Structure 1
Amino acid sequence: MTVVRSLSDELELPPPRSAIRSLGSGRRFMHYNRLAAVVLAVNTGFLVHAITAGWWDDPSTLSLLVVANVTLAVLIRQQYVINLLFHVATDAPVRWPLAVRRILGKVYHFGGLHVGGAVAATLWFAFLAGVMTVHPAGVSAGLLTLTYAILALLVAMVVFALPSLRARRHNVFEVVHRFGGWTVLALFWAHALLTAAHQATFWALTAITLSIALPWLRLRRVPVRISRPSSHVALLGFDYGVTPFAGSSTTVSRNPLLEWHSFANVPTPGRNGFRLTVSRAGDWTGSLIDDGPSHLWVKGIPTAGVGNIDKLFARVVWVATGSGIGPCLPHLLSRDTPSRLVWSTRHPRTTYGDELVEEILAVQPDAVVWDTDANGKPDLLALAYRVYVEFDAEAIICISNKKTTWHLVEQLEMRGVPAYGAIWDS
C-alpha cells in the first residue's frame, strides 16, 4: 500500500550554487521581504520629495500619505483582492518560460506589501504627530490627544506583529490586531473630520471600512460533521451551500470575536461541500478534536493560498508531513496538474484512517508514503529531490511545519529548484 525507497540509493544532492547566486534564495531576501522593502523605498522617496519641495509640515498631505499606506495594508489582505491576485498570477500558460512562471509562483508573498504599508503608515503618522506637536497652531488639545492615541495603537499593532512576539503570544496578537484595528479606523475617521482632510482621504477610508466589514457580513454559524480516525486527527465535513476551489482555505472559529484558524479546503470532485483536516497542534485544535462541536463559525469566502500555484507548472511534486496532506489532497484528487506525492507521517492508516489513505492511493498509486514509526525520519530534502528528478517535475510544493517548510524551500532554491511553501504571515 505504500512505496518506501531506501535512502541509501538516492540521487546525490547537487551542491548549493555560489554564495552570490544563492543570496536571493535565503530567507532574509525572500520575495516577501523584497516587497516590503519596495514599499518602504517608495515612501522614502516621498519623504525626500516632501523635504525638498517644502510640504513636509502640511498635516493634510501627511494624513493622505498615512491613509494611502493603510489602504495598501488593508486591501492587500482583502479576500477578493487576494483571489484576484492569484487568478492573474496563475493564469499564465505553462508554455511561458519557467523563469517567468517560477517568479509568478511567489504571488503568495503579497503579505510583504501589507507589512511595508503598515510600517510606513506608522512612521508617517509618527512624523505627523511630531509636526502637530512642534507646530501647534490650529491644533487643539483634543486633536493632539486623538493623534497620540492613534499613534499608540499603531505602534502596539506593529510591535505585537513582530514574528518572535507574534509566535509566542498569537492570541494576544490576534486580539490587538482585530480590536486595535477597528478602534484605529474609528479614530482615523474622527481625525479626518477634525483636520479637514483631502477628499481622497475620505474615499480611502470608505474603501478601508468596506474591506474590513465585508468578510464579517458573511459571518455564519454552520453545522459540521466531525470524524476522528485517531486522537491526533479530526476530519471536519461541511455542506452549507459552499463548495470551494482547490487551493483555497476557510477560517473557522468557536468564538468569532476572539480567535480564528485557517485550514486548507478539501473539496471532492463531483460532490458538494468540503472537508478540513485538523491535527492536534495546540490547545485550540486539541479541544476541537476532543469536544467534537456540532457547529462552527465561518466568515468571508474561500481564499486562495500557496497550493493554488500548481497550475503554473506542467508537473509538480507535493511534499507533505503529517496533516499537511490535507492541503495537498484536493489537488491530487482533481488531477488538474500531473503530480507526484511524497508524504512522511506516523502510521498513515492508524492516524488518518483507511478511507483517507485509500482515497490518496487511488489517485496516487506511485506515491512515496514514508511511515516514520516503521522507518524513522527520512532525509526529506534528498527524498524530495530524488522524486523531483525522477518525475521530471518543474517545481516542488512543500506543506509541513514552519521549520521543515522553510528548510526545504531554502535548500531547494539554493540548488536552483523552484520550491514553494507557506510563510506564516497571516
Structure 2
Amino acid sequence: MPARRFSGPPAASMAVMMEVVRPRANSEPMAKYGSIDFSPDETRLARALRLQAKPFSNLGLGEKQWLLPLLESPFAPPSISEEQEELCEKIRDPIVADKAELEWLSCSQELPAQLGTKTTRRFWNFFSLYRLIFAFTILANLFTTVLIAPITSITSSDAATAAAINLCVAILVRNEHVVNALFRLACTLKPSAPLSVRKVGGKVYSYGGFHSGCATSGSLWYLLFTILLGVDLRDPYKRSAFGFAVVTSVLLLIISLAAIPAFRVSHHNAFEAIHRYVGWFSVTLLWTQLSVSIATTNYLTGEPVGLLMVKSVLFWCLIIITLAIIYPWSRLRMRNVHVQVLSPRAALLHFDYKRMDVCQGIRITDSPLKETHSFATISKVGDEQGFRVLMSRAGNWTSDFIDNPPTRIWVKGAPIYGVMRVALMFKKVLVVATGSGIGPCLSFLESCPDHPMHVVWMGSDPRESYGDAIVNSVFEADSSACIVDTSKAGRGDITRLVHARYVESQSEAIVIISNAIVTRQVVSGLESRGIPVFGAIFDS
C-alpha cells in the first residue's frame, strides 16, 4: 500500500505508514501554515506531542507537532483507517513512554567532546568548590598560625582560642538564617551579570566546605591544646584540665570520623545521633572545662570571675555555639498536616500555618530526639496561605509515613533555601528532576511561571505515582516539558538527554534535583564539557 502524505511545511512533510522520514531536531512549532490556523489548545497539544507508536518512531519533533492538527483540520484527506485513528489517539499523551523515542530525543544533538585531558578532568572533578573551600579553610588556619607566631611559641591558651573560633564558625555556618543570607547574597547577581561570575555564585550551596573545614581545623587545634597541656603535668591544676581535654578530643575525633561520607551514607541515623548527642556532650565538657579554668585562675590571682569570663574568647564562642544549638529547638512546633496519598509510592502533605518563600525547605519528624527529615516546600499559588510537601517512598521512615499518614507532625527550625533557588540567577534555565525531585522544582515552576525555563522530568509512571495534578502543573509551567515514563521507556542515557534538551531549549544553565548517583553523573558529565550545571552535593 503506497504511503499517504499530508501537505505541510517543506521540512515537515511526512509519510504516515512507512518509516522513511529522517529524525529532525526542530523543537519550536509554527503557528500557521498556508490557510490552516491552529487554536491555542491545538498549538499547546502539538508542542507536547510525544510518539508512542512504531510507525511514527522516526519522525522529528517538528513533524510530530504538525501531524495531529493536520489530521483534525478541515483540509485533511479523506477518512483514515481505524488503525491510523488509534495511533493518533496514542500520541495525545505528551509523556515519553517509548524506548525508541527516548533514544531519539537523547541523540538529537551530538554530545561534544570533554575539555582538557583525562588527568585534568579527574583533578577538577575531585577538587570541587566544596573541597576547595575545605582546603582553603585548613590553609587559612595554617597561614594565620605562621604569620602570628612561630609554631614553637604557641601556648595552650592560643590553641584553645583557635579551636573555639573554628568550632564556632563550623556551627554558625549551619544556622538556617546564615544559610538563607548566603543564598540571598548570591541571588543578588542578576541575569545580566557576567556568566562566569554567576557560575561561581550558583555554587553557593557548597557552603558546607566551611562547616567541615572549620570543624576539622577546630578538632586539630583542640588536639594540639591537649598535647600542650600534657607536656607538663607537674602543675596539679593542669591535670584536671588535661583529663577533660583528653575526653573531649576523643569525642571530637568520633564526630569527625562519623562525618566521613561513606559512613554517613551507609549509617545515616547513626551519623545524626553521633553528631547530636556526642556534640552536646562535647559542648557540656567545654563549659565544664572553662568553669574549672576560670575558678582556678580566680583562686590563684584573685581576679573577678566576671572579668575573667568577659576576657575569655572561649566563653563568648561557647555562648554563640550554645545559642546556635538551642535555636532550632526553640522553634520546634507540632503542626497540623493533611496527607494526601497519591499512590503507594508518594504522598502530598498539606500545611496551612504559613506561606513559604520560593525554593525553601523544612525539617519534619515524628520523633524530634531521634531523627529529622528535610523536604522542599511548594507554596500555594496566589495569596492562599499554606504550602505543600511532596514525599516519595524512599526508606523505612517515609514508607511508614505514607502507609500510616498522621494528622500532626513536628516541624523543627526555620525554613531554609535549597539548590533550586539559584535558578533565578539565569536568563533561561533547564530544570531536570528524577522521581520526587520534581517537588523542589515545583516550588520554582509554580512561583515563577514567567521565568524562562524548560523541564525534563524522569520517573516511573508519573501520572500513576504522582497524580494528574502534579503532571499538569509541570505542563502549565512548560507546555513543551519532556516527561519520561521510565517504567516503559527505561532510563536511557540521562546525560545525553539533558544535553540535547539544553541545546534545543537554548537554556543558559542547568539545575538538577535527583539522587546522589544521577546528580554526580550529570554534573560531572556536562561540566567537563563547559556547561553550567548545578546540583546538590552529598558530602557536606
Q: Same fold (TM over 0.5)?
A: yes
Q: What are the equivalent positions in structure 2 for 1:209-228 lying under 5 Å apart?
A: 209-228=322-341
In structure 1, list runs of 5 or more residues that go unmatched. none
CA–CA distance in structure 2, aligned partners of residues 69 and 309 of structure 1? 28
Hey, what does 2:494 align to over in structure 1? Answer: 380
Q: What are the equivalent positions in structure 2 for 1:76-87 lying under 5 Å apart?
A: 76-87=173-184
Deviates most, 267-276 or 65-74: 267-276
Hey, what does 1:255 align to over in structure 2? Answer: 367
Alignment equivalent of 2:231, drawn from 115, 122, 134: 134
Hey, what does 1:114 align to over in structure 2? Answer: 211
Deviates most, 17-26 or 33-42: 17-26
Report the CA distance shift for 1:24/1:327 in structure 2 as closer, same or farther (over 3 A): farther
Residue type of the alignment partner of 1:74: I
Q: How far did residue 50 of structure 1 move?
A: 6.4
Q: How far did residue 168 of structure 1 move?
A: 1.3
Hey, what does 2:34 align to over in structure 1? Answer: none
CA–CA distance in structure 2, aligned partners of residues 59 and 183 of structure 1? 22
In the comparison of the two structures, how many residue pairs are matched?
A: 423
Deviates most, 226-235 or 374-383: 374-383
Map Cα deviations across residues 145-176 of structure 1 (whole Å, 9 max, x no partner): 11111111101100111111111111111011
CA–CA distance in structure 2, aligned partners of residues 361 and 346 of structure 1? 17
RMSD over equivalenced CA pairs, Å: 1.7
**What's the secondary structure of 1:195's corresponding residue?**
helix
TM-score (normalizing by structure 1): 0.95
Q: What are the equivalent positions in structure 2 for 1:239-250 lying under 5 Å apart?
A: 239-240=352-353, 242-250=354-362
Is the Cα contact below 8 Å between 1:60 and 1:195 reproduced in 2?
no
Deviates most, 323-332 or 369-378: 369-378
Q: Does 1:18 align with 2:116?
A: yes
CA–CA distance in structure 2, aligned partners of residues 59 and 97 of structure 1? 47
Map Cα deviations across residues 84-111 of structure 1 (whole Å, 9 max, x no partner): 0000011111111000001000000000
Map Cα deviations across residues 379-405 of structure 1 (whole Å, 9 max, x no partner): 111111111111111110111111000
Is the Cα contact below 8 Å between 1:227 and 1:236 reproduced in 2?
yes
Hey, what does 1:166 align to over in structure 2? Answer: 264
**What's the secondary structure of 1:255's corresponding residue?**
coil
Q: Does 1:151 align with 2:252?
A: no
Hey, what does 1:66 align to over in structure 2? Answer: 163
TM-score (normalizing by structure 2): 0.76
Q: How far did residue 137 of structure 1 move?
A: 4.5
Q: How far did residue 141 of structure 1 move?
A: 3.1
Aligned residues with identical type, % of pairs: 35
Alignment equivalent of 2:509, drawn from 382, 387, 395: 395
Hey, what does 2:23 align to over in structure 1? Answer: none
Q: Does 1:2 align with 2:94?
A: yes
In structure 2, list runs of 5 or more residues that go unmatched. 1-92, 295-308
Q: How far did residue 331 of structure 1 move?
A: 0.7
Is the Cα contact below 8 Å between 2:102 and 2:489 reproduced in 1?
no
CA–CA distance in structure 1, aligned partners of residues 502 and 468 of structure 2? 27
Bigger relative contact order, structure 1 or 2, given CA contacts below 8 A and separation 6+?
A: 1
Is the Cα contact below 8 Å between 2:163 and 2:221 reproduced in 1?
yes
Is the Cα contact below 8 Å between 2:229 and 2:238 reproduced in 1?
no
Deviates most, 110-119 or 334-343: 334-343
CA–CA distance in structure 1, aligned partners of residues 149 and 198 of structure 2? 41
Is the Cα contact below 8 Å between 2:102 and 2:492 reproduced in 1?
no
The structure with the largest alpha-carbon Rg is 2
Residue type of the alignment partner of 1:134: V
Is the Cα contact below 8 Å between 1:25 and 1:413 reproduced in 2?
no
Q: How far did residue 24 of structure 1 move?
A: 5.9
Map Cα deviations across residues 179-223 of structure 1 (whole Å, 9 max, x no partner): 111111121122223334752222221111111111111101111
CA–CA distance in structure 1, aligned partners of residues 114 and 313 of structure 2? 50
CA–CA distance in structure 1, aligned partners of residues 440 and 317 of structure 2? 35
CA–CA distance in structure 2, aligned partners of residues 237 and 152 of structure 1? 44
Q: How far did residue 63 of structure 1 move?
A: 0.7
CA–CA distance in structure 1, aligned partners of residues 151 and 240 of structure 2? 30
Q: What are the equivalent positions in structure 2 for 1:308-319 lying under 5 Å apart?
A: 308-319=421-432
Deviates most, 75-84 or 242-251: 242-251
Q: How far did residue 268 of structure 1 move?
A: 2.2
Residue type of the alignment partner of 1:143: A
**What's the secondary structure of 2:456's corresponding residue?**
strand
Q: Does 1:302 align with 2:394?
A: no
Q: Does 1:237 align with 2:335?
A: no
Hey, what does 1:192 align to over in structure 2? Answer: 290
Residue type of the alignment partner of 2:341: R
Report the CA distance shift for 1:129/1:50 in structure 2 as closer, same or farther (over 3 A): farther
Is the Cα contact below 8 Å between 2:164 and 2:313 reproduced in 1?
no
Deviates most, 255-264 or 46-55: 46-55
CA–CA distance in structure 2, aligned partners of residues 231 and 68 of structure 1? 48
Map Cα deviations across residues 226-250 of structure 1 (whole Å, 9 max, x no partner): 111110101111112x211121110
**What's the secondary structure of 1:353's corresponding residue?**
helix
Residue type of the alignment partner of 1:79: E
Q: How far did residue 22 of structure 1 move?
A: 3.4
Residue type of the alignment partner of 2:531: V
Residue type of the alignment partner of 2:344: S
